[in-house]
Structure 1
């Protein structure tokens, strides 16, 4: 051992000895976090699974016998898998193309183009669906224009056509962000080395670049697949006669509320089984194909030129216009005069906004109140969990990580049914019909966003900083509070904003657990759309969009917080 390394080794030993001597609260926190996750995540899911084998007739397989005997259920599963496959392929194609276009080429307005896809996940799904209906629905703005002026009857948006149009535009952003990050980390020297050995540029990309970014693309595609399986709002509103698993599960819940919740649990169990299978396939395939990039040179963007550049720019523009169109449509509808369900296009009015603000503000107040409580609790918990997973690992850490990530893979309908089953009448304790169960659902469903964001920040903080503080005599726990926690503040702020945005847009889980007087904006929009009052729904939607975008603008422009990197 060289003399230069001896002091470092001795200091490391001193740090480790100090940590062993002092009582560490981290193991106690880990045990507490695991127990809470078992109670509020694993127990509701386990209740759903057990209820599917508890028929009122005494036959534990009664629900499954009905499931396999009724062609409606089997058709719903087949349709759901087919839809998820189609949406995943289309969303992956859109996301990969736009990511490659943004990373590879230089053009005017590139900074704006790189961020615009994020708006697709900022606008709540129910609002996006509403906007598309107003644009291309049976009485939509563009539908009427094409029919009355051009004499062309567009196909109906209800059914497969609408689902295949809207869902890829809702979810492609996940693939885009993951692929863009992978492309920015790709070492272009590898591609140049392949070409220097005789490969053509196309062959070099196929043999070098694609394998390197494949794990990111495949992982985000799996996310799209699971999100489509659990999709509720779009599937319910425009699904039409297409039987799909999430809406069918919700209808079973409505039909069986107060009775034997057999089929709702059986259908929810099917959804859980599908997602579990998808995660297993991901771990067995994508998880084994990982590539690490050494420090190298990223691409030098090339300028768009010629006919091919014009074609690529046109495709990218169409994708961005289609994914940001809902923002413009919601704003237009909110300020359009209406008589019942009839919108008078071209007639400006403040009546819709005035009505929701002055006469029916409760959904807005509920959204702000419930969302604020859930956001504060969720961020506090997510920071602790992220620290335990990244910095304070124990034998329980992998189990805790899995439990925290589990709600992301489940549909909101399944999670909501699990919560009602576990914490309704006859459960461990009763929360149904209270504000607490709504806040709890928000926290559990969106906790993953805070954990992942805080974890990313912690990965960038070297352990040597905390070790240096401990070696100077500061106890480990106090060293963490004085050294690591202040460095986490930007990450905590980013986690707070993103958690807030996703919480206020939640619909499917809250629709299952809410009670009268506790409607949020998304629930109110869903109800108004079912009654045809789209102008009022748009006014609520506009307020919801502002509640999402204003904090993001303040965080990024005023406080310079990097939310999407």
Structure 2
């Protein structure tokens, strides 16, 4: 397709230049540092150290084990959950079928902190059983990580499989039953192959999220060597010195994720089934003990996954003294201290998230318009660059940005700019995906008619396109806001004195054993996340997950 250099070609080049400088260039610096010795010579010393030192090999093995175990657990929960919701009608189904979506917007730092309030060494359930002479095993380590991550990530499996089940042609299953095949065997032969691509795609997504997880890993699994935590510890210990080892570990993780994504593409492409539009299977209404069993089973999963929202507010108003929480005794001290005495993390979060939202949404709307409506070889390259941050974890992205912009003509490290940059780059792919949701449905003829009437292309963009996609823009802005304000993994390696945000404050307070103050910041964080969602859904009727 012929490139229209004015204005769209130049704007495409501008977007590509920004992404090359703030995304691709930092990653190239990270790769370069991984093979550059202290004297500036090329060396594989860091990779050799990773292969020879048992602690790094142990961390690599633990990371793979954690990823596989959590992925299997999410499949064991998400697939049956989706099947029950898609095939059966039971009490409270409409409520429990949508509530799991909320787990996606609960910050992982809140999840970790809340489960410590419940099952930690001084947790309410731990103390309850201790008073009865029953001592629960420690929640720290493998148990806490697997339990918490499963409840955080099963929603990805649930939503993917639910969509596949609702698109399944029920006539295929009826044909198998008409041939005398038992129902169980029919589902195994017909249904399982159709939903398997959805299971595999989302399972690999979960695996990459677990491998790159930082918040839950460092707060609950500090005694278990993991790559994500070890990269952070190495970054802190190497601060101001040669970043060779931290870079080599980061490149190793990037290589692992790249291999998983390549495996996903190769395997999934071979297991794609084209489904001709047909009649969806009927929903079976269950009664008596089956209804109670189904409702109780899915309800328990939903309650456990949403329990952090309740616990963080209970902990914020619980009387505390140092690391000890006096359950059942209420106090406003934690809230007052967070708001009046130490409000800086709250103000920083609001400021950084607002700036990242404005920059990110503006860029996402322009880039998505170029990619969808002005398709050229350059816009395809732009599309690849936008999704590049999805392939790396937040901690590695933060390290790459700090290594790149801590010296030279553009120094951003230690300033508010790098905090905004971390949030913008990290969440830009999500904002762009949401911003583009309605552009596909806008006929090109609408814009062409405006241009044919003498309106310039830029004015047509602002007067014709933007008003039509305003719902998607608002949805992108809210999603960009709530994901940026809860960002921890990238910002925790980029922040310096005076730039602490609420997630960082929660992390530091939990690390020092002050769960009361952590809960106060957590309550503030949950409030600034949920309020925009409630307002957008109730007042403006915006569907955050579809952009309509």
The normalised TM-score by structure 2 is 0.94
Alignment match, 1:530: 511
Alignment match, 2:81: 98
Alignment match, 1:215: 197
Compared with structure 1, are the counterparts of its residues 543 and 299 closer, same or farther at alpha carbon in structure 2 (3 Å cutoff)? Answer: farther
Alignment match, 2:413: 432
Alignment match, 1:74: 57
5+ residue gaps, structure 1: 1-15
Distance 2:387 2:269 in 1: 16
Alignment match, 2:122: 139
Alignment match, 2:485: 504
CA offset digits 1:539-564 (Å, max 9, x no partner): 11001001001100111111111113
Q: Which of 272, 294, 299 is 1:312 aligned to?
A: 294
Q: Which of 521, 526, 542 is 1:545 aligned to?
A: 526
Alignment match, 1:252: 234
Alignment match, 1:444: 425
Q: How does 1:154-553 map to 2 (within 5 A)?
A: 154-426=136-408, 429-467=410-448, 478-553=459-534
Distance 1:455 1:21 in 2: 21
Compared with structure 1, are the counterparts of its residues 559 and 293 closer, same or farther at alpha carbon in structure 2 (3 Å cutoff)? Answer: farther
CA offset digits 1:475-511 (Å, max 9, x no partner): 6555444443322111111111111111011001001
Distance 2:256 2:487 in 1: 22
Q: Is the 8 A contact 2:36 2:42 kept in 1?
A: yes
Distance 1:211 1:481 in 2: 46
Distance 2:3 2:379 in 1: 22
CA deviation after TM superposition for structure 1 residue 286, in Å:
1.4
Distance 2:377 2:70 in 1: 38
Distance 1:158 1:281 in 2: 32
Q: Which of 14, 32, 40 is 1:50 aligned to?
A: 32
Alignment match, 2:102: 119
Compared with structure 1, are the counterparts of its residues 480 and 300 closer, same or farther at alpha carbon in structure 2 (3 Å cutoff)? Answer: farther
Structure 1 counterpart SS, 2:329 = strand
Distance 2:175 2:370 in 1: 42
2:538 paired with 1:563: no
CA deviation after TM superposition for structure 1 residue 197, in Å:
4.5
Q: Which moved more, 1:454-463 or 1:117-126?
A: 454-463
Compared with structure 1, are the counterparts of its residues 495 and 130 closer, same or farther at alpha carbon in structure 2 (3 Å cutoff)? Answer: same
Q: Is the 8 A contact 2:352 2:419 kept in 1?
A: yes
CA deviation after TM superposition for structure 1 residue 290, in Å:
3.2
Distance 2:79 2:373 in 1: 33
Distance 1:153 1:464 in 2: 70
Distance 2:440 2:189 in 1: 31
Q: Is the 8 A contact 2:90 2:295 kept in 1?
A: no
Compared with structure 1, are the counterparts of its residues 373 and 105 closer, same or farther at alpha carbon in structure 2 (3 Å cutoff)? Answer: same
Q: Is the 8 A contact 1:227 1:409 kept in 2?
A: no
Q: Is the 8 A contact 1:24 1:477 kept in 2?
A: no
Q: Which moved more, 1:304-313 or 1:279-288?
A: 304-313
Distance 1:123 1:21 in 2: 43
CA deviation after TM superposition for structure 1 residue 255, in Å:
0.6
CA offset digits 1:7-53 (Å, max 9, x no partner): xxxxxxxxx9xxx7976522222222222111111111111111010
Distance 2:440 2:196 in 1: 23
Distance 1:365 1:417 in 2: 24
Q: Is the 8 A contact 2:92 2:295 kept in 1?
A: no
CA deviation after TM superposition for structure 1 residue 72, in Å:
0.5
CA offset digits 1:123-173 (Å, max 9, x no partner): 211111011011111221111212222x32211111111111111111112
The normalised TM-score by structure 1 is 0.92
Alignment match, 1:10: none
CA deviation after TM superposition for structure 1 residue 402, in Å:
2.1
CA deviation after TM superposition for structure 1 residue 121, in Å:
1.9
Q: Is the 8 A contact 2:122 2:325 kept in 1?
A: no
CA deviation after TM superposition for structure 1 residue 431, in Å:
0.7
Q: Is the 8 A contact 1:446 1:499 kept in 2?
A: yes
Compared with structure 1, are the counterparts of its residues 278 and 306 closer, same or farther at alpha carbon in structure 2 (3 Å cutoff)? Answer: same
Distance 2:235 2:454 in 1: 59
Structure 2 counterpart SS, 1:142 = helix
Compared with structure 1, are the counterparts of its residues 468 and 552 closer, same or farther at alpha carbon in structure 2 (3 Å cutoff)? Answer: same
Alignment match, 1:7: none
Q: Is the 8 A contact 1:22 1:475 kept in 2?
A: no
Q: Is the 8 A contact 1:163 1:238 kept in 2?
A: yes
Q: Is the 8 A contact 1:30 1:396 kept in 2?
A: yes
Distance 1:376 1:513 in 2: 20
CA deviation after TM superposition for structure 1 residue 456, in Å:
2.2
Distance 1:522 1:267 in 2: 24
Distance 1:488 1:189 in 2: 38
Distance 2:273 2:453 in 1: 38
CA offset digits 1:102-134 (Å, max 9, x no partner): 222223322321221122122211111011011
Q: Which of 47, 50, 65 is 1:64 aligned to?
A: 47
Q: Is the 8 A contact 2:93 2:295 kept in 1?
A: no
